[in-house]
Amino acid sequence: MSVFRLIDRYLLRELYFAFFAVSAMLSLVLLGGVLANVLNRIARGKIPASLLLSQLGLRSLDALSLVLPLAVFLAVLIAYGRLYRDSEMAVLAASGLRLSGMLKPLWYLALPVVAVLAMVSFWGSPAALDRADSMVREANRSLLVAGMEPGRFVDMPGRYGVIYVGEMSEDGTQFKRLFVQHEHDGRLDIVTASEGQLFYDEDGAQRFLSLTQGFRVEGTLDQPDFRTMRFSRNDIRLPEPDPDGKRRAESVRSTEALMGSEQLADRAELQWRLGVPLSALLLVLLAFPLAKAPPREPRYGRILIAVLGYILYANLLALGRGWMATGAVPESLGLWWIHAVVLVLAVVLIRLGERMPRGRA
């Protein structure tokens, strides 16, 4: 018994070493992608620069539901694949270790990952997304979200035009000495005002600049038909603060709210969240037979095929969620048929690859 406990520790060490190495690599890729997305939105005036770190952290937490299943999948492939290529698995089999002994260390890796994924999927990710969106909505109540600074010309949100303010309050809602220039379809529109403020309509959906004591010049560039108007007040509607950043409403709802809902979109989201930890468990089972390789096989030959299989699995789950939300797939079938296909494939591959000699337990 002590011998097999020693073998368990050895296999578990190999698995955890590969898992942390792969997780570190994927985390860098994840952070790079999230950072590029956040910086792009900051540059376009969707998010103020002050929210960079908070948005990066909150959105990275949501992405863990995609990174951790792939990390544990690759960890098993890399760790057990090395043991097969170095003929260590043959030595373990010759010593009397059964297939069940090879599977046992996998559960010590898979179960903690599944527990973390369950917490992230059920509570962490919806709360993080809701908090990230609320912070952006609050920030959009300030002109600072467009990167405005007193004394500097900047593009308005949505490339609406160019704006300049001489002075601005600390919260970015009031300003003085404003200049706005907008050109569209050959027409030029220039507005100046001595002061103004940012406000929302009664529904809180549209943003407006309320300008006081100013002038407006408008006309066609190639024709001398410009006209000048003087106003005591002029309201300019700003474009939607983040038209390309809207997400599905059910993705930020709590799991408790989804469980009590009868909407198809909510039921599909609930099955998606249940499927995140389940997918990690199934991927571990699938990786075990896929890791079996002859000694002289290329080190990363099967990993590329496995990654493509993971991408297919993840995309099928995403498509299945959409099909279920629209009623194209019945709720009883939901996403379970996709998980069932992966489970059957893993069991068949394990049975086909079970060639280890019988020995003592």
Residue type, 327: G
User: For residue 361, is it within any domain?
Assistant: no
Question: Does 186 fall in a domain?
Answer: yes
Which segment of 97-106, 218-227, 266-275, 327-336 scores lowest on mean pLDDT?
97-106
- Measured CA to CA, the distance from residue 162 to residue 171 in angstroms comes to 21
Say if 357 falls within a structural domain: no
User: Measured at the alpha carbon of residue 350, what is the angle toward residues 348 and 352, in degrees to the nearest 5?
Assistant: 70
Domain that holds residue 79: 2-139+248-352
**Side chain identity at residue 227, one-letter code:** R
Residue 197 CB burial class (10 angstroms; 0-12, 13-18, ≥19): middle
Q: CA angle 126-130-133, nearest 5°?
A: 140
Domain closes at, from 185, 215, 238: 238
pLDDT in tens, 18-53: 999 999 999 999 889 889 988 887 776 677 777 888
pLDDT tens, 130-160?
888 888 777 666 655 555 667 788 776 555 6
Domain termination residue (choose one: 214, 238, 262)? 238
> What pLDDT score does 159 carry?
54
Angle between helices 301-326 and 264-290 (to 10 degrees): 160
The residues facing 227 across adjacent strands are 218
pLDDT (average), residues 230-257: 74
Q: Taking every pair of C-alpha atoms in the chain, what is the biggest distance, in angstroms?
A: 98
- In the predicted model, what is the mean pLDDT of the chain? 81
Residue position matching structure tokens 């969620």 = 321
pLDDT at 357: 42
Q: Is 214 among the domain residues?
A: yes
Whether 360 maps to a domain, the answer reads no
Considering 181, 210, 238, which residue would you say is the last residue of a domain? 238
Same domain membership, residue 172 and residue 277? no
The answer on 119 and 33 residing in a single domain is: yes
Specify the pLDDT at position 344.
Answer: 94
Q: Are residues 21 and 134 in the same domain?
A: yes
- Map the chain to HEC letters: CHHHHHHHHHHHHHHHHHHHHHHHHHHHHHHHHHHHHHHHHHHCCCCCHHHHHHHHHHHHHHHHHHHHHHHHHHHHHHHHHHHHHCCHHHHHHHCCCCHHHHHHHHHHHHHHHHHHHHHHHHHHHHHHHHHHHHHHHHHCCCHHHHCCCCCCCEECHHHCCEEEEEEECCCCCEEEEEEEEEEECCEEEEEEEEEEEEEECCCCCCEEEEEEEEEEEEEECCCCCCEEEEEEEEEEEECCCCCCCCCCHHHHCCHHHHHCCCCHHHHHHHHHHHHHHHHHHHHHHHHHHHCCCCCCCCCCHHHHHHHHHHHHHHHHHHHHHHHHHHCCCCCCCCCHHHHHHHHHHHHHHHHHCCCCCCCCC
10 and 56 housed in the same domain = yes
Say if residue 275's pLDDT is above 80: yes
As for how many domains the chain has, the answer is: 2
Tell whether 155 and 226 lie within a shared domain. Answer: yes
Same domain, 75 and 171: no
Q: Do the domain assignments include residue 58?
A: yes
Give a yes or no: residue 358 inside a domain: no
Residue 196 near residue 210 (C-beta atoms within 8 A): yes
Check whether residue 348 and residue 273 sit in a common domain: yes
Q: Is 78 found in the same domain as 38?
A: yes
Q: Are residues 260 and 129 in the same domain?
A: yes
Q: In this structure, are 159 and 126 located in the same domain? A: no
**Residue 318 and residue 229 share a domain:** no
**Is residue 236 pLDDT above 80, yes or no?**
no
Task: Verify that 95 and 179 share a domain, yes or no.
Answer: no
| AA letter at 354 | E
More confident residue, 6 or 280: 280
Confirm whether pTM is higher than 0.85. Answer: no
What percentage of the chain has pLDDT greater than the value 90?
24
- Is residue 191, in this structure, part of any structural domain at all? yes
pLDDT at position 284 over 90: yes
